């Protein structure tokens, strides 16, 4: 067997973990560049699908947009090819892993299937001339694929050093995930309502921009309260250093994210700063997921390690 095929065809669990990490990075990049497409009003840089235009497969003047807008949109489409390759490698590595892990195989299978689903939704976005509901679904589907990639990465990780975590703190971390997902969804509505949804004739949500922005900010404040409560709970419960570090990272990143959000709002939504805000939100989503999976998996493993020796001791005493 060729050496470079070894990690794919005869992988170890750490090697599958590396492929999962590559999937996380690739999905994050595609979300970030997708945000750049919309915020630069390049969503119809290629007005047809799957071709760029009726006349050409690739970016050209026939698209009816500026060449810059056309290449921004077409470049984002091209990124799907390396993403397909990465997700295929993730699936093959999980499939070839020995001993077999069905949980990893199912999570890995989601990756390439999700990319093809994204391509179909992306086509709907273009063919409906950037319908805001379709764009929101497109973004949230990407967020779901990121979540599946992070879970796959977590299932390949060692959490024995995390230490025991109280059940109520696990629930709080799960609530943090749910509210963060709501914040991402609300963010798509804000963008789909405001001036950065596209050109002047691009369809928009018929909602008051100030109202949806305030709702988005309110979710952010709720997130802040939950995160502070979680960090305090981890501290009081004597959680391990690893859990505390992750909690502080999430809290600090949320503070930075909130500051960027207010700065961009009071400066009339400059596209570059909004792009930073969206990309930062994706990274925050990954951090929140990792914190939740770490606390959940850490407790499960520690409980197993504590329970098994106790049973062995009881059996020996009998």
Over residues 220-272, the pLDDT tens digits come to 999 999 999 999 999 998 888 888 999 999 999 999 999 999 999 899 889 99
- Looking at per-residue pLDDT, the higher value among 310 and 63 belongs to 63
pLDDT above 90 for 318 = no
Token pair of 212 as six digits:
């949806």
What does the pLDDT read at residue 64? Answer: 65
Residue length, the chain? 318
Of 46 and 19, more confident: 19
CB environment 107-138: b (16+ within 10 A), e (fewer): bbbbbbebbeebeebbeebbeeebbbebbbbb
Is residue 315's pLDDT more than 50?
no
Helices 271-317 and 13-39: crossing angle in degrees, nearest 10, is 160
Instruction: Say what the pLDDT of residue 10 is.
Output: 86
Highest mean pLDDT range out of 36-40, 43-47, 85-89, 126-130? 85-89
First and final C-alpha spacing in the chain = 53
Q: How confident is the model at residue 178 (pLDDT cuts 50, 70, 90)?
A: very high
CA distances from 178 to 27, 172, 184, 272 (A): 20, 10, 10, 28
- Tell which residue, 274, 281, 284, has the closest CA to residue 37: 274
Residues in CB range of 197: below 8 A, 6 or more apart: 38, 130, 132, 135, 191, 203, 204
Tokens linked to 255: 């503070």
236, 234, 224: which is closest to 299 by C-alpha? 234
Q: Tokens for 183, please give them.
A: 């914040």
pLDDT for 250 equals 97
pLDDT band at 112 (very low <50, low <70, confident <90, very high): very high
Mean pLDDT of 112-123: 91
How many whole angstroms separate alpha carbon 115 and alpha carbon 138? Answer: 11
């Amino acid at each position: 067997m060729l050496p470079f095929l070894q990690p794919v065809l005869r992988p170890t669990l750490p090697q599958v973990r590396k492929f999962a990490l590559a999937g996380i990075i690739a999905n994050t990049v595609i979300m970030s560049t997708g945000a750049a497409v919309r915020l630069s009003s390049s969503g119809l840089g290629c007005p047809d699908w799957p071709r760029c235009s009726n006349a050409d497969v690739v970016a050209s003047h026939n698209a009816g947009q500026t060449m810059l807008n056309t290449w921004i949109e077409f470049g984002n489409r091209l990124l799907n090819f390396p993403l397909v390759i990465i997700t295929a490698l993730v699936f093959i590595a999980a499939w070839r892993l020995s001993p077999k892990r069905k949980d990893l195989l199912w999570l890995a299978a989601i990756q390439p299937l999700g990319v093809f689903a994204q391509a179909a939704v992306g086509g709907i976005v273009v063919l409906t001339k950037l319908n805001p509901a379709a764009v929101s679904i497109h973004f949230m589907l990407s967020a779901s694929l990121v979540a599946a990639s992070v879970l796959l990465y977590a299932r390949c990780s060692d959490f024995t050093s995390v230490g025991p975590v109280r059940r109520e703190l696990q629930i709080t971390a799960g609530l943090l995930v749910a509210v963060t997902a709501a914040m991402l969804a609300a963010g798509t509505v804000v963008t789909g309502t405001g001036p950065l949804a596209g050109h002047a004739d691009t369809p928009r949500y018929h909602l008051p921009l100030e109202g949806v922005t305030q709702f988005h900010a309110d979710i952010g404040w709720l997130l802040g309260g939950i995160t502070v409560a979680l960090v305090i709970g981890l501290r009081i419960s004597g959680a391990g250093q690893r859990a505390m570090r992750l909690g502080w990272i999430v809290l600090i990143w949320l503070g930075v994210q909130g500051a960027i959000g207010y700065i961009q709002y009071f400066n009339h939504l400059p596209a570059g700063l909004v792009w930073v805000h969206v990309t930062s939100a994706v990274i925050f989503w990954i951090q929140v997921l990792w914190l939740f999976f770490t606390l959940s998996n850490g407790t499960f493993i520690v409980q197993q390690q504590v329970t098994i020796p106790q049973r062995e001791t009881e059996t020996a005493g009998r």
